[in-house]
Amino acid sequence: MGKRRDVKVGGEGVEMESGGMMRWLLTYADMLTLLFALFVILYSMSVVDETKVRALEMALGQAFGLSGQVSVLGSGATTDTIPVTMPESQVQLTSTKEKIQKWILQKKLERDVKVRFNERGVVISLMTDKVLFESGAAVLLPQTREILSDISELLKQQTNPIIIEGHTDDSPIKQRSIKSKYSDNWDLSTARAVNVLKYMIRKGVSPDRLSAAGYGEFRPLVPNIDDITRAKNRRIDIVLLKSDLVNDRAMESRELPMPSDVKTKKQIEKENLDSLTY
Q: Please tell me whether residues 122 and 90 are part of one structural domain.
A: no
Q: Please tell me whether residues 116 and 69 are part of one structural domain.
A: no
Largest CA distance in the chain: 121
Is 9 part of a structural domain of the chain?
Answer: no
Q: Closest Cα partner for 192 from 131, 106, 246?
A: 131
Query: pLDDT value at position 72?
Result: 44
CB atoms within 10 A of CB 106: 9
Q: Please tell me whether residues 247 and 124 are part of one structural domain.
A: yes
Query: pLDDT value at position 53?
Result: 65
How far is it, in rounded angstroms, from Cα 161 to Cα 188?
A: 23
Q: Closest Cα partner for 144 from 203, 100, 188?
A: 203
Q: Please tell me whether residues 126 and 91 are part of one structural domain.
A: no
Query: pLDDT value at position 219?
Result: 95
Q: Please tell me whether residues 172 and 189 are part of one structural domain.
A: yes
Q: By the 8 A CB rule, do 215 and 166 touch?
A: yes
How far is it, in rounded angstroms, from Cα 75 to Cα 84?
A: 8
Query: pLDDT value at position 80?
Result: 47
Q: Please tell me whether residues 215 and 183 are part of one structural domain.
A: yes
Query: pLDDT value at position 98?
Result: 92
Is 271 part of a structural domain of the chain?
Answer: no
Query: pLDDT value at position 153?
Result: 95
Is 204 part of a structural domain of the chain?
Answer: yes
Is 96 part of a structural domain of the chain?
Answer: yes
Q: Please tell me whether residues 189 and 228 are part of one structural domain.
A: yes
pTM, whole model, 2 decimals?
A: 0.60
Domain total for the chain? 2
Q: By the 8 A CB rule, do 35 and 28 touch?
A: no
Is 41 part of a structural domain of the chain?
Answer: no
Q: Please tell me whether residues 215 and 90 are part of one structural domain.
A: no
Q: By the 8 A CB rule, do 162 and 240 touch?
A: yes
Q: Which domain does 164 fall in, by range? A: 111-251
Is 203 part of a structural domain of the chain?
Answer: yes
Is 131 part of a structural domain of the chain?
Answer: yes
Query: pLDDT value at position 270?
Result: 65
How far is it, in rounded angstroms, from Cα 44 to Cα 57?
A: 17
Q: Please tell me whether residues 204 and 87 are part of one structural domain.
A: no
97 three-state secondary structure: helix
> Virtual CA dihedral for 184, 188, 191, 194, nearest 10 degrees?
-120
Q: Please tell me whether residues 116 and 188 are part of one structural domain.
A: yes
How far is it, in rounded angstroms, from Cα 269 to Cα 275?
A: 10
Q: Which residues 6+ apart lie within 8 Å of 193 measured at CB? A: 164, 165, 166, 212, 213, 214, 236
Q: Please tell me whether residues 64 and 124 are part of one structural domain.
A: no
Query: pLDDT value at position 56?
Result: 67
CATH of the domain at 150: 3.30.1330.60
Q: Please tell me whether residues 185 and 123 are part of one structural domain.
A: yes
Spell out the alpha helix ranges (H) of 76-226. 90-107, 142-155, 176-179, 185-202
pLDDT, averaged per 10 consecutive residues of the chain (278 residues), comes to 50 52 78 85 69 67 55 46 47 88 94 92 89 89 91 91 96 91 95 97 96 96 93 95 62 54 63 56
Q: By the 8 A CB rule, do 39 and 75 touch?
A: no
45 three-state secondary structure: helix
Is 159 part of a structural domain of the chain?
Answer: yes
